[in-house]
Structure 1
Amino acid sequence: MTRSQILKGWELKGLEKFIAPLAALLAFVYLFQWYITGELRSTSDPVFPAKLPPLVMKGGDPHIRALMRTISASESNHQRPYSLLYGGQHVQDLSRHPEICVTIVNGPNQGNCSTAAGRYQIINTTWFRIAPKYHPKPGRFVFWSSYSFDAEYQDAVVYRWLSDSQVWGTDISQLLRQGKVNQVLKLLSPTWTSLGYGIENNSMSSHLPRIYQKMLQEELKSATPAR
């Protein structure tokens, strides 16, 4: 046996020491995932590593809260979503809706511009329509009102909006409790097109029902008082 053959033998033995533990670790990860979620999937699946930041808002229906986090997974998948503008830039001033119109570079609306901002990528006209109805602490001066776009108010306005059955023609929370996640996403897709069913999708759209289930488990766990 030559010297090179001996060295190759040592290298293979060294690799074997790492391969077995690595295989065991991967098997454990997949089995643990199966135990928690009831299904196995690749680590390349966006659901697998999804760690969406919690809402700033405290309390509320865990099903609506999970839906809000699911919407943000598709609309503003970022660890700092509340200050996010369409296109990826951030703003510092959230005392009001930023109203910054960013050019759309692809998709069916290419060439136009979007004022979408915040965790739920709400455009300015939508914010000025829903904020007067759902904002918990509007600023008022004589006949003039202002609506802070701070994180807690983005959450509060969207939570109340989604909870208003008169707006959507149905009780969204009840549909979610019945497991009709796809029906809810379809209902909301004209407002948030990235949810699927609308004029455009993104890489997260098809994974949203499973992301919702993951978010719901986190919200239910957080809502359960510690014993």
Structure 2
Amino acid sequence: MSPRLPPPHRRVTATALLAWAALPLGVVVLALAALWWWRPSLLLPGTRALEMEGGDPYLRALMRTISASESNVRRPYHVLHGGGYVQSLAQHPNRCEAIGAGPNRGNCSTAAGRYQLLYSTWLELAARHHPQRTRDPLDATRLSFAPPYQDVVVHAWLADRRAWGMDLSAQLRQGRVRQVLRRLSGTWTSLGYGIESNRMSGKLPHLYQDLVREELAEAGAASPP
């Protein structure tokens, strides 16, 4: 006597079960792909919008690109080298955190904030570009490290042609993103041409194109060709 089969409406095959299970995963993948196409910065916390107002949209997009590889974390303005966080941004934290990997392993770094600025670099830049600076050279040690000031100081630094030997904004307007990243890689070593590349480094040129379109749209300017 042959075994009895269940009614057709009660037969469930392994293939059917896998197909039903794959539906939610497929929806999630499609949603993430659509979100990446529409606004990729929402998937990368390091590329969140700047706290400062105004500025050159090409340099603003560059700053967000830098932080995508340097501080791609939930609170980029508060992050220390190594992944720890600091609560107060009343001034640069100046905490030398151990370097656990890479060519500088065994040393420590005072890098902090969205742009991972060393304490010595911050003092030099703040003395020249911080909105609250005074003529007192020691004043830089007490200047606020709050998010808008981090942005303003780095934006002014990137806009300084003498600092880089080129007009970075003009280079970006001409589409020379890789050349700009190469020039900056001596300062930010994770940009793809330095000594500490990471998983984001190779994606930065493409990411910059998405971010500059977003910045130009916010500024009401035409997108680059």
TM-score over 0.5 (shorter chain): yes
Write the distance in 2 (CA, Å) between the matches of 1:125 and 1:28. 44
User: Please, which of 98, 108, 114 is the counterpart of residue 103 of structure 2?
Assistant: 108
Q: Residue in 2 aligned with 1:72?
A: 67
Contact 1:138–1:148 (Cα < 8 Å) also in 2: no
Gaps of 5+ in 2: none
Q: Which residue of 2 is the match for residue 59 of structure 1?
A: 54
Determine the C-alpha separation between the residues in 2 that align with 1:188 and 1:215. 18
- Separation of aligned partners in 1, 2:153 and 2:31: 42
Whether 2:53 is the aligned partner of 1:50: answer no
Amino acid at match of 2:213: Q
Q: Counterpart of 2:178?
A: 182
Q: Which amino acid aligns with 1:185?
A: L
CA distance in 1: counterparts of 2:18 and 2:192, whole angstroms: 45
Q: Conserved in 1, the CA contact under 8 Å of 2:172 and 2:180? A: yes
Please list every run of 5 or more consecutive structure 1 residues that lacks an aligned counterpart in the other structure: 38-45
CA separation in 2, counterparts of 1:149 and 1:74?
Answer: 20
Alpha carbons of structure 1 residues 21 and 93: separation in structure 2 relative to 1, 3 Å? closer
1:123 aligns with 118
In terms of mean alpha carbon deviation, does 122-131 or 20-29 score higher?
A: 20-29
Q: For residue 138 of structure 1, what is the aligned residue in structure 2?
A: 133
179, 195, 198: which one aligns with 1:199: 195
Structure 2 counterpart of 1:166: 162
Shift of 1:155: 0.3
Which secondary structure does the structure 2 equivalent of 1:202 belong to?
coil
TM-score (norm 2): 0.82
TM-score by length of 1: 0.81
CA contact (8 A) 1:53 1:79 kept: no
Residue 205 (structure 2) aligns with: 209
Deviation at 1:175, TM superposition (A): 0.4
* Amino acid in the other structure paired with 2:164: W
Q: Distance in 2 between matches of 1:93 and 1:21?
A: 42
**How many Å apart are 1:95 and its aligned residue?**
1.4
- Quote how far apart the aligned CAs of 1:23 are: 5.9
Q: Deviations over 1:141-165 (max 9, x none)?
A: x774132111111000000000001
Structure 1 residue matching 2:112: 3-state secondary structure: coil
Shift in CA distance, 22/116, structure 1 to aligned 2, threshold 3 Å: closer
